[in-house]
Amino acid sequence: MPTLQEQFGQIDIYLFDQLLKGRISPGMRILDAGCGGGRNLVYLLREGYEVYAADSDPQAVDGVRSIARKLAPTLPERNFRVEAVEDMSFDDACADVVLSSAILHFARDDAHFESMLRGSWRVLKPGGLFFCRLASSIGMESHVERIHGRRHRLPDGSERYLVDEAMLDSITKRLGAEVADPLKTTIVQNQRSMTTWVLRKKQR
């Protein structure tokens, strides 16, 4: 019997919440756009989901391929690609669920943010679920220092592209998307603020 750690890995607690709500279920095709080392993919690979992933870091993708070889050896390695989120080579509307966990806040500027978001949204099927976690200024407005545009320096010393509630609401409307969950923001001891943004792509 696998331990919880073995079964779920380091899965984001808010992604786990989507699993508990039944929005991500066996048979779905999952695409992790900016997968890093695959912390959110352990359970999905173990349970036989059809998983795809992309990241611009070759070592990160190698790590995901290694996990997949152990947990889902029938998945082809071409499912896991060394590609920037904005330049993914996956087909349009190929995924039932797109994960974008802690990636969009690395945008250099508005144009880069838009291209990463557009690249992630493009691969999502109509009716599909977009799960996004990203840094925001929500609840931290007086603690962040603006560098230029939406790039800010956080109290923990990191630099991030920060969204706010008005921006996310505006993008949701522009995409013609449905809000699957209310925005949820976690403030980590006045050091950083992480917002969970979950959308449903409308059927055509």
> What pLDDT, in 10s, does the model give residues 36-68?
999 999 999 999 999 999 999 999 999 999 999
- 64-118: pLDDT as tens digits: 999 999 999 999 999 999 999 999 999 999 999 999 999 999 999 999 999 999 9
- 174-197: pLDDT as tens digits: 999 999 999 999 999 999 999 999
Contacts of 178 (CB under 8 A, 6+ apart): 199, 200, 202
Alpha-carbon span 150 to 109, nearest angstrom: 7
Predicted confidence band at 4 (pLDDT cuts at 50, 70, 90)? confident
Q: φ and ψ at 75, to 5 degrees?
A: -75, 135
Alpha-carbon span 164 to 189, nearest angstrom: 18
Burial class (CB in 10 A: 0-12, 13-18, 19+), 106: middle
Lowest mean pLDDT among 5-9, 41-45, 159-163: 5-9
Residue percentage of the chain with pLDDT more than 70: 100
pLDDT over 90 at 141, yes or no: yes
Give bridge partners of residue 52 from the DSSP assignment: 31
pLDDT over 90 at 6, yes or no: no
**Nearest alpha-carbon partner for 85 in 65, 106, 71, 68:** 106
Tokens of 111: 């144009």
Per-residue pLDDT at 175 = 97
Burial class (CB in 10 A: 0-12, 13-18, 19+), 101: buried
Alpha-carbon span 41 to 52, nearest angstrom: 9
Predicted confidence band at 27 (pLDDT cuts at 50, 70, 90)? very high
pLDDT over 80 at 1, yes or no: no
Tokens of 201: 């792509």
**Residue 87 CA, distance from chain mean position:** 15
Extents of the domains making up the chain:
4-200
Query: How does the average pLDDT of the chain come out, rounded?
Result: 96
Q: Look at the domain 4-200 and name its fold.
A: Rossmann fold (3.40.50)
Whole-model pTM: value is 0.96
Return the beta strands (E) in the chain as ranges: 29-33, 50-55, 80-82, 95-101, 124-135, 145-148, 151-153, 159-161, 178-179, 184-188, 192-200
